Structure 1
Amino acid sequence: MTLSQSLSPWVVPGRRHVRTRLVAVVCGLGLAALGAAQEGLDDTLPLGTIDFPTSGSAQAQREFVTGVLALHSFWYEEARDRFVAAQALDPSFGMAHWGEAMTYDNALGTVPGAEHEILGAEVVARMDALDAAGELEWTERERGYANAVRRRFAPGTSPGTRREDYAAAMEVLAAGYPGDDEAAAFASLALMALPGFDREQALHVVAVASRLEEVYERNREHPGALHYLLHVYDTPTFAMMGLRQARVYAEIAPASSHALHMPSHIFRHLGMWAEVAASNEDSYEASVRWQERTGRPLNTRDFHALDWSLDAYLRLGRFDDARRVMDELDAVEEAIRSRQEEWGQFPEIAEALRAYYASAAPP
C-alpha cells in the first residue's frame, strides 16, 4: 500500500451506543476490589480529552477512555492496566480487548524489545476465542476496530505486511465514520508507522498532518492529534509547524512522562535548549511518580528523559546539573542492586550516558 492509494469508503449502519464524554480527570471506581492486576491505578490522571463512544458499561467506559488517552501518549503500561480493568468491570466489552491488543502496537518503535508482535497476537487470539464463543459485544463500528487490529497482528505475515494491512483497514474505518476522531487519529498513526513513511517528504507529511490538524481544530485537547503532529513535524524542515502543539501537549497531559518529553523534539530542532532541559526534567519526575505509585521496578523509569536532560545541560554549560544526572544514575543503580530487582535495559542506558558525560563535560 502507498500513501496515495485510493481507498473506497466503507459505510455501515450504526447502532445505539453509550456516548460518554470524559475529561482528563476520571472518577474512581473502587478498583481495588478487582484484584492485583488493577492495584496502583490512579483515579485522577490528566491526559487530555476525547469523545470515544462505545457499547461498554458506564463504569468500564471510564476505564476504557483513560486507557485510550494513555495509549495516545504511548503510555502502554498504564493503558494496559486500564483496559484490563475495563474487561473486569464488563466481561462482554469487546473494545476493552481491542485496547489491550493496541498497547502492543508500538507504532513508532518507542519501546525497545521484539516481543510486542507475539504479545499482541496473543491478546487478539484470546479476543477471537471469546468472540467466537459469543461472549463479546460489538457495534458495527466497533467491529471495524476489531477487524483492523486482527490485521495488525495477523499470524503468518511479516511485520511490514501487517502494518500495511492494518493501515488500509484503518483508512477504511476512518472513511466510513468521518465523525470519529479516534479512527482518524489511529489511521494517521498507522500511516506514520508504514515502513516507507518519510518525515522529510512533504507529500507524506501533508497526507498525515492535514487530517490530524483537523482533529486538533475540533478538539484542542486531543492527546493523539497533539502527540502525532509532534512526531510528524519532528524534522528541521517542519519543526516550526509543531511549535503550537509543543506549547500545548505537555499542559493537557502532564501525567504522562512521554507527553512531557515530546515537546522537546520540536524545541531541539529550534535550538531551544533551556526548554528541552525543562521538558525532560518534568518528564523524568513524572516517571518516578508513576513508578513509585504503581510499585513497578526502578528500571521502568523514563531514562530517555535523563538522556535528553543531560544533552541539554551539557549544551547549555550547566555542568552541575549534568553531574546530578550522573548522581541519579548512581543512586538508581545502587537501589536496583540493594532491592535485587531486574536490571532491564538500565545497564546499557547508564553506560551510554556515562560515556557521553565523560566525553563532553569538563574535567
Structure 2
Amino acid sequence: MIKTSFAIAAGLAAGISLAQPAFAQSGDEKLGTVHFETSCKPEAQKLFNRGMLYQHSFWYRASQRVFEDVLKADPECGIADWGIALSLLWNPHVPPPAKNLAEGAAVLANAKGIVVKTQRERDYIDALGVMYTDYDKLDHRTRIQAYAKAMEQLAQRYPNDDEAQIHYALALNTSASPVDKTYANQLKGAAILEIIAKRQPRHPGVAHYLIHLYDYPPIAEKGLEAARRYAKIAPASAHAQHMPSHIFTRVGSWSESIASNVEAARVAKAGKESNDELHAMDYLVYAYLQLGQDDKARAVIDDMTKVTSFTETFLPGPYALAASPARYAVERGDWKAAAELQVRPSPLANVQAITYFARALGAARSGNAEAAKVDIAKLAELRDKLRDTKDTYWSEQVDIQQQAATAWVLYTDGQYDDALKAMSAAADAEDRTEKHPVTPGVLKPARELYGVMLLERGMVNDALIAFEATLKKEPNRLGAYVGAAKAAERSGDKTKARHYYEKIVAITDGADTTQAEVAGARAYLRKL
C-alpha cells in the first residue's frame, strides 16, 4: 500500500506516468540522507533508515507504516516500536490527538516485551516513554519538558550519536518557554545542529529543525540558509517545501513564501496529506494579503473548503480553516464581513476563538458594541476552558484577543482614554509571547491595532512609533506600512512618509487594481 501511494505522489509531483517504479523503491534520494544505526537485520536496517527519512520531514503516516514494515522484516527489532511511537506523536510542536497517545503508549508497552539488543536502543525507547507517561493526567507542556530532559541525558550518554543530538536539539525547541526572549533553548539547539550540518549537509532533520529553531523575529535571518537548503534536500516532502516559508514569513519575503507554499500544497494534495495542505494554504493566504493580492487570497480560501479528510483534533487543519477567512476580512478592514463570519464547529477552543475574535473586532469597528460584547463573552468562556485544561499558551493568546476586542468596544463607546490603555496593554502582552508555528501570524498584530487607534485619535507621533515597532517584529507587513506612511504624512515628516509610501508601492507591484491604499500611495508619490 505504501509503495502505491508514494508512486502516485511522486508521479503527480514530477508530471510523469504512474508506470514509473514505486516511490519507496526509487525516490529516497528525494527525501535526503539519514542513517540511524540499529542492531536489526540488514533489510530491517534499510527500512528503518527510510522510516527516519519520512519522520524527519514530519511525514508521520508514511514513517509509521515503514516502521511497521521493519517489524515484519525483523520481529526482534525492538527499536522499530520506538519509531512507531515517535510517528504517532505527529508534529511535536502541537499536542497529538488523544487516540494517538493511547496507541503510542501501547506500542511502547509492547517494546518492553521485546529483547532489545543494545543499551542505546533501550535508552531511546525509555526516553520517548517519558512523552507517554501519564499522558491522560499530565498536560502536553509538562510532558514535553520532561522529554527534553530525558533527551539531554541521552545526548550526553552518546555524544557521537548524531541522531541523539538531533532529537535533543528538536526537544530544546519544543520545550522552550514562549516568553523567553533570549531564545536560550533555541540558540543552544541551533549550535548543535550547525555543527552536524557541516558533516551531514543532506540530512533533512538538521535543515528542518534549524528552521524551527530560528523561527523567531530577532534570529530569523540566521535560518535563511537552512530554509533554502531544506526544500532542495527533500523535494518529495510537502512539509519540506512548506517549512522554508516559516523563515520567509519572519523576514517578510512574501514571494518566496508564496512559491514555497504553492509547491507544498501541491505535493500535500498529491499525497493526500490534508493537514499539510491546509497549513500551507493558510500561509499562502497570509502572504498574498501582504502583497495586496486579495483575489488570489480569496481563491485559496475557496479551495480550502474543498479539502477533506483532515483530523479535527489536530490543530493545523482546523486552525487554517478558521484563520484564513478571518484574516481575509480583518487584514482588509472589511469589518462587516468580519462581524458576519460563521463559527465553524471545532472541538478545539483556540480554533473557535479565532472566529469569535474576528467577529468581535468586526462588530466593534462597525459601531455595534452590543454584538461585540456577545462575542467577547464567548472569548472569555473559551479562555477559561483552555485554562482549565492547563493550556497556558493558548489561554493567554485568547486572553489577548479578548483584551484587544474589549479595547475597541471601549473606543466605540467613546471611552477613548480607557480604550487606548486597554489596547496598549494587549499589545504589551502579545509582545511578551511568541507566535505559534501553526500560524504565519495573528489576524492583525495588537501593536498594529494600537497604532490604528492612536492614528484615529490624532496621536500621529505615537502611532508612527507603534507601526514602526510592528515592522521591526514583523517586517514588510502591508498594514503596518500603510499606517506608518499615514502617520508620518500627518506628522509632517515628509522623509519618512515618502519612505513608507515607496515601500507600499514596491511591495504591491502585483496588487489588485481595487486596492485603495495602493492607489493612495501612488498618488502621494506623484505629487512629490
Q: Compute the TM-score of the two structures, normalised by the length of structure 2.
A: 0.54
- What residue is the counterpart of 1:35 in the other structure? none
- What residue is the counterpart of 2:393 in the other structure? none
Give the distance between the partners of 1:59 and 1:199, measured in 2 at CA: 45
Deviations 1:53-75 (A, max 9, x none): 11112222222112112211222
- What residue is the counterpart of 1:274 in the other structure? 255
Equivalent AA in structure 2 for residue 302 of structure 1: E
Give the distance between the partners of 2:96 and 2:150, measured in 1 at CA: 26
Other structure's SS at 1:238 match:
helix
Equivalent AA in structure 2 for residue 93 of structure 1: C
Asked if the contact 2:116/2:122 (under 8 Å) is kept, the reply is no
Other structure's SS at 1:184 match:
helix
Match of 1:357 among 328, 333, 353: 328
Match of 2:88 among 104, 117, 127: 104
Q: For 1:47-58, what aligned pairs fall within 5 Å after superposition?
A: 47-58=31-42
Q: For 1:1-363, what aligned pairs fall within 5 Å after superposition?
A: 42-43=24-25, 44-45=27-28, 46-106=30-90, 108-110=92-94, 113-128=97-112, 130-131=113-114, 136-155=115-134, 158=138, 159-194=140-175, 196=177, 200-291=181-272, 299-300=274-275, 302-330=277-305, 332=306, 344=312, 349-360=320-331
Asked if the contact 1:199/1:205 (under 8 Å) is kept, the reply is no
Distance 1:153 1:301, change over 3 A: closer
Asked if the contact 2:172/2:186 (under 8 Å) is kept, the reply is no
Give the distance between the partners of 1:357 and 1:143, measured in 2 at CA: 50
Asked if the contact 1:107/1:190 (under 8 Å) is kept, the reply is no
Give the distance between the partners of 1:198 and 1:359, measured in 2 at CA: 26
Instruction: After TM superposition, give the deviation of residue 205 of structure 1 in Å.
Output: 2.7
Give the distance between the partners of 1:73 and 1:199, measured in 2 at CA: 27
Distance 1:138 1:197, change over 3 A: farther
Asked if the contact 2:239/2:276 (under 8 Å) is kept, the reply is no
Distance 1:301 1:151, change over 3 A: closer
Asked if the contact 1:191/1:197 (under 8 Å) is kept, the reply is no
- Cα RMSD after superposing both structures: 2.9
Instruction: After TM superposition, give the deviation of residue 219 of structure 1 in Å.
Output: 0.8
Instruction: After TM superposition, give the deviation of residue 125 of structure 1 in Å.
Output: 1.4
Give the distance between the partners of 1:112 and 1:127, measured in 2 at CA: 21
Give the distance between the partners of 1:302 and 1:342, measured in 2 at CA: 9
Give the distance between the partners of 1:300 and 1:271, measured in 2 at CA: 24
Distance 1:64 1:242, change over 3 A: same
Distance 1:72 1:86, change over 3 A: same
Unpaired runs of 5+ in structure 1?
1-27, 32-39
Instruction: After TM superposition, give the deviation of residue 240 of structure 1 in Å.
Output: 0.9
Equivalent AA in structure 2 for residue 75 of structure 1: W
Query: Percent same amino acid among aligned pairs?
Result: 37
Equivalent AA in structure 1 for residue 120 of structure 2: R
Other structure's SS at 1:237 match:
helix
Distance 1:115 1:288, change over 3 A: same
Give the distance between the partners of 2:146 and 2:319, measured in 1 at CA: 35
Instruction: After TM superposition, give the deviation of residue 162 of structure 1 in Å.
Output: 3.4
Equivalent AA in structure 2 for residue 152 of structure 1: M
- What residue is the counterpart of 2:401 in the other structure? none
Larger RCO of the pair (alpha carbons < 8 Å, separation 6+): 1
Asked if the contact 1:199/1:235 (under 8 Å) is kept, the reply is no
Give the distance between the partners of 2:131 and 2:293, measured in 1 at CA: 45
Give the distance between the partners of 2:245 and 2:42, measured in 1 at CA: 37
Asked if the contact 2:281/2:320 (under 8 Å) is kept, the reply is no
- What residue is the counterpart of 1:16 in the other structure? none
Instruction: After TM superposition, give the deviation of residue 173 of structure 1 in Å.
Output: 2.2
Q: How many residues align?
A: 310
Q: Compute the TM-score of the two structures, normalised by the length of structure 1.
A: 0.76
Distance 1:186 1:318, change over 3 A: same
Instruction: After TM superposition, give the deviation of residue 104 of structure 1 in Å.
Output: 2.9
